[in-house]
Amino acid sequence: MRRRDGLLGAIVVSSLAILWPAPVRAHLIETGLGPVYDGITHFALTAEDLMPALALAVLAGLRGRDHARRVIFVMPLAWLLAAIAAAWTSVAMPGFLAFAPLLAVGVLVAADLPLPLAVTTAIAAAVGAFLGYGNGDAMAQAGPGLRGVAGSVGALFVTTTLGAAAATAWQSGWLRIAWRVAGSWVAASGLLLLGWSLRR
């Protein structure tokens, strides 16, 4: 009888511990590993930052090595400058505009248009500045500050370099179609975010 009561008590306590609500956050900012790792983690877990960066890397890779090399340096630099500006000004960017980079870059990847190098560079600068401003504002409000921005920029550089290298190397035959399909999914994610912002 005592065993049964003990087992029942253990089940009740375990169930309460499992079902007890814990606070959750939509975007992880603080990992406990330091501000640089907080910035890396925030970039890796924020789809609105990660997906357009990867899509832009794929767009540049599909255009060739010169485009890829330009994007992997221009985008992080624009991101860094915009993030510093956001940290100093403390003016938040409207949240409903998060769909714009996803939609724009996704459509460009899906369309696979032959873009001049200057246009690819301008797109990289614009997307980097747009996303970097929002990231800098998030880092300033959450606490990691400019060291968190440095982590985000480092993660962005690695991500765009790997994405552009993969798209440059693997684009023959059906692989190019696969990259374009991935771009259409990024654009669809942008449309989904637009729909959510209009519903609010």
Q: How far apart are CA 163 and CA 91, in angstroms?
A: 31
Q: Would you state the structure tokens that stand for residue 6, as one six-digit string?
A: 């003990």
- Residue 145 inside a domain? The answer is yes
Check if the beta carbon of residue 179 is closer than 8 Å to that of residue 58.
yes
Backbone dihedral angles phi then psi of residue 93, each to the nearest 5 degrees: -85, 140
Q: How far apart are CA 165 and CA 151, in angstroms?
A: 21
List pLDDT tens digits, range 31-51: 556 778 878 887 888 888 899
Check if the beta carbon of residue 148 is closer than 8 Å to that of residue 39.
yes
Residue numbers of the domain that contains 130: 29-199
- Residue 20 inside a domain? The answer is no
Of 162, 160, 153, 159, residue with least CA distance to 76: 153
Average pLDDT over residues 109-137: 92
Check if the beta carbon of residue 55 is closer than 8 Å to that of residue 112.
no
Q: How many CB atoms lie within 10 A of CB 84?
A: 16
- Residue 89 inside a domain? The answer is yes
- Residue 14 inside a domain? The answer is no
| pTM of the full structure | 0.78
Longest dimension (CA), the chain: 80
Could you give the number of structural domains in the chain? 1
- Residue 64 inside a domain? The answer is yes
Q: Which of 20-24, 107-111, 160-164, 170-174 shows the lowest mean pLDDT across its residues?
A: 20-24
pLDDT reading at 61 higher than 80: yes
Q: How far apart are CA 58 and CA 62, in angstroms?
A: 6
- The per-residue pLDDT of the chain, averaged, comes to 83
Burial class (CB in 10 A: 0-12, 13-18, 19+), 37: middle
- Residue 191 inside a domain? The answer is yes
Check if the beta carbon of residue 72 is closer than 8 Å to that of residue 157.
yes
- Residue 169 inside a domain? The answer is yes
Burial class (CB in 10 A: 0-12, 13-18, 19+), 93: middle
Q: How far apart are CA 106 and CA 110, in angstroms?
A: 6
Q: Would you state the structure tokens that stand for residue 78, as one six-digit string?
A: 């624009």
- Residue 67 inside a domain? The answer is yes
List pLDDT tens digits, range 62-119: 999 999 999 999 999 999 999 988 888 877 777 777 788 989 999 999 998 999 999 9
Q: What is the pLDDT of residue 52?
A: 93
Which one has a higher pLDDT value, 13 or 170? 170
